Amino acid sequence: MALHVTLQHFLIVSAILFSLGLFAVVTRRNAIMVLMGIELILNSANINFLAFSRYNALQIDGQMAAIFVIILAAAEAAVGLAIVLNIFKNFNTVNVDEISSMKQ
């Protein structure tokens, strides 16, 4: 059966998800949209970790890497949103192209 799902299918989904996340990070003006794009990129990386882990004799190492990616994503989201809130408090905008100085 030609359409039988193999490792490549998961990798293709991950590649498209990565490109969409990159596109969001580069084009969107809103800083929160940039954070959402980063989450998409991290999810695509996790799909890759788990796919290689699954198709390599069911090893556990890829799953360990994915756990630490999730931990760092949670920390990144918390700190990133705190920074965005602080920027909004100081500049009254969250558009990344209007924020070009470190202080007011």
Partner 1 sequence: MNSVQMFDIIFYILAVTVLLSAGVVVFSRNIVYSAFSLLFTFFGVAGLYVLLNADFLAITQLMVYVGGILVLILFGVMLTNKVVSVDIKSGTLQMIPATILAAAVAGILLSVFLFTNWMTSGSDSAVQTVKTTAPKIGEALITTHALLFEVASVVLLVAIIGAAFIARREKTQQ
Query: Which tokens in the block code for residue 30?
Result: 């809103």
Contacts (Cβ under 8 Å, ≥6 apart) of 77: 35, 39
Q: Answer yes or no: are the C-beta atoms of 60 and 53 closer than 8 Å.
A: yes
98 part of the interface to partner 1, by CB under 8 A? no
67 binds partner 1 (CB under 8 A): yes
Residues 6 or more apart in contact with residue 49 via CB below 8 angstroms: 62, 63, 65, 66, 69
The footprint of partner 1 on residues 9-48 (CB under 8 A) is 9-13, 15-24, 26-33, 35-37, 39-40, 43, 46-47
List the interface residues with partner 1, window 75-94 (CB under 8 A).
75-79, 81-86, 88-89, 94
User: Is there binding between residue 103 and partner 1 (CB under 8 A)?
Assistant: no
- Cβ distance to partner 1 smaller for residue 60 or 102: 60
> Is there binding between residue 5 and partner 1 (CB under 8 A)?
yes
Q: Residue 80: phi, psi to the nearest 5?
A: -65, -45
Shortest Cβ 98–partner 1 spacing (Å): 11
